[in-house]
């Protein structure tokens, strides 16, 4: 019996459980609003009981993760000055425990298992949306868009983006073969169709950019780390110059027009302006975590009315940084940006330094996807969201200094799910 329990947290032997846990977690994140509190309890039941198997191995040394917990801890503290203390207390505790679950997953699930679980999970989410999804009228542009089983086409687009990216990573970065090659290919087609059906400009553009970056990472893996750095400098210069020419030639308007949007991004620029004004009113500490969009707050009520939000719930400023500044002020914004910046720079540095590092390549793509979306969406600021779960998983990998690197391989491992060199990183 002890051996069976230990297999649940053994990163080389828990592929079946880990894949199922990641897939079911993503499904819960997508549809917890539909299935209610029972689904959230099920999510906790997937991860928290693993602590009872071996708490030292599952939790690790949380002093190392202080910079990761800083924002969640500050969100909990904001209850003392929150405009809606009860809402802040509840959601901040949810966010903190959500971060704990992500770090438990990081300690017990390797990158191959995470990728497999994400492929299966996004496939289930998108299949459910295609079977039971609906079209919604957008009162701002007067058009209908397919939102799946979500309340917003942007959420459908986000899961489609994850499906495309993890399917690509499974095949071309982690080297999946046999049945997992077929499964990943099938989910990639399903995700690509869902991405087009959602008509979410944010999701389409960020997915294209991140997949292009991942292709570049994969191709440049044949170069020595020093040659990669030189290529990076040259590519960066070309990218900046190309972007400058593109924007000055009116390229942004052309792209937006292709998705039926104008230069205001369908009202988002106005929302950003309103958010910045709200942030200035409580500059350093904000109004409290998740305490702005609450019924009874005059400014929230006004914006709900202006944007035809009849339910008077579930809205945001469509910008993670503005939303964070409004809720937790400048202090909270700095703490969250530290997690984002360290995660992106840390995995990028790992990729530059190591001859072969599939884990760094996959997690760098995840971090870049979430960072680029942060300018127009709010994926990492709420509990029980795939974006925040993946961000803290990726951040935890960097913070877990107890990881001991194995000798580098000459090329990508064949069949990452088969062994991933039985996980190229060993946790003590």
pLDDT digits (tens, 9 = 90+) for 242-285: 655 544 555 445 555 555 555 455 668 889 999 999 999 999 99
Distance separating alpha carbons of residues 226 and 276, to the nearest angstrom: 42
Nearest residue to 348 via CA among 366, 360, 362: 360
Give me the residue label for tokens 């939102």. 147
Averaged pLDDT of the chain:
84
pLDDT at position 141: 58
- Paired sense of beta strands 144-148 and 404-405, if any: unpaired
Cβ proximity of 321 and 329 under 8 Å: no
In order of 154, 232, 385, the CA distances from 28 in angstroms are 17, 39, 9
Distance separating alpha carbons of residues 173 and 249, to the nearest angstrom: 35
Q: Rounded mean pLDDT of 199-222? A: 86
Distance separating alpha carbons of residues 309 and 2, to the nearest angstrom: 53
Q: Rounded mean pLDDT of 5-13? A: 79
Nearest residue to 367 via CA among 409, 397, 400: 397
Range with lowest mean pLDDT among 248-252, 294-298, 344-348: 248-252
Q: Rounded mean pLDDT of 73-91? A: 96
Domain of 359, in residue numbers = 2-426
Distance separating alpha carbons of residues 195 and 164, to the nearest angstrom: 9
Reading the block at residue 104, the tokens are 């438990």
Identify which has the larger pLDDT, 315 or 389. 389
Distance separating alpha carbons of residues 398 and 286, to the nearest angstrom: 29
Any idea how long the chain is? Answer: 428
Helix, strand or coil for residue 295? coil
Distance separating alpha carbons of residues 203 and 373, to the nearest angstrom: 8
Helix, strand or coil for residue 189? helix
Helix, strand or coil for residue 145? strand
pLDDT at position 257: 56
Which tens digit of pLDDT belongs to each residue from 378-426?
Answer: 999 999 999 999 999 999 999 885 454 433 333 344 344 333 433 433 3
Q: Buried (b) or exposed (e) across 347-381, using 16+ Cβ within 10 A?
A: bbebbeebebbbbbbbbbbbbbbbbbbbebbbbbb
Count structural domains, the chain: 1
């Amino acid at each position: 019996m002890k051996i069976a329990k230990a297999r649940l947290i053994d990163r080389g032997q828990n592929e079946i459980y880990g894949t199922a846990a990641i897939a079911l977690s993503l499904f819960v994140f997508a549809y917890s609003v539909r299935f209610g509190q029972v689904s959230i309890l099920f999510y906790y039941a997937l991860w928290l009981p693993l602590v009872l198997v071996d708490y030292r191995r599952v939790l690790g040394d949380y002093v190392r993760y202080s910079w990761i917990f800083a924002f969640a801890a500050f969100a909990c503290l904001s209850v003392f000055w929150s405009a809606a203390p009860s809402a802040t207390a509840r959601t901040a505790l949810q966010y903190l425990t959500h971060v704990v679950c992500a770090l438990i997953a990081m300690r017990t699930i390797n990158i191959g298992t995470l990728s497999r679980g994400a492929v299966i999970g996004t496939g289930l989410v998108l299949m459910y949306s295609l079977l039971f999804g609906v079209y919604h009228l957008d009162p701002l542009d007067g058009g209908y868009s397919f939102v799946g089983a979500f309340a917003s086409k942007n959420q459908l687009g986000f899961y489609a983006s994850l499906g495309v990216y993890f399917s690509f990573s499974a095949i071309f970065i982690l080297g999946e073969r046999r049945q997992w090659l077929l499964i990943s290919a099938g989910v990639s087609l399903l995700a690509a169709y869902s991405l087009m059906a959602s008509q979410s400009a944010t999701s389409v553009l960020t997915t294209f950019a991140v997949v292009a970056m991942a292709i570049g990472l994969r191709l440049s893996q044949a170069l020595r780390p020093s040659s990669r750095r030189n290529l990076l400098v040259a590519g960066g210069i070309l990218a900046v110059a190309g972007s400058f020419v593109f924007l000055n030639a009116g390229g942004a308007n052309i792209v937006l027009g292709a998705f039926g949007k104008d230069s205001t991004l369908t009202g988002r620029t106005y929302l950003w302006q309103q958010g910045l004004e709200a942030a200035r009113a409580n500059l350093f500490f904000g109004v409290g975590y998740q305490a702005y969009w609450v019924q009874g707050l005059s400014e929230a009520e006004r914006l709900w009315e202006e944007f035809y939000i009849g339910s008077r719930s579930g809205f945001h400023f469509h910008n993670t940084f503005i939303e964070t500044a409004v809720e937790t002020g400048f202090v909270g914004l700095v703490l969250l940006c530290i997690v984002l910046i360290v995660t992106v720079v840390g995995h990028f540095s790992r990729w530059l330094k190591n001859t072969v590092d599939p884990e760094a390549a996959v997690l760098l793509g995840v971090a870049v996807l979430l960072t680029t979306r942060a300018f127009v969406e709010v994926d990492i600021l709420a509990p029980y969201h795939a974006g925040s779960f993946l961000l803290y998983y990726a951040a935890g990998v960097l913070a877990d200094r107890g990881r001991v690197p194995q000798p580098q391989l000459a090329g990508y491992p064949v069949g990452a799910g088969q062994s991933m060199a039985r996980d190229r990183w060993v946790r003590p």
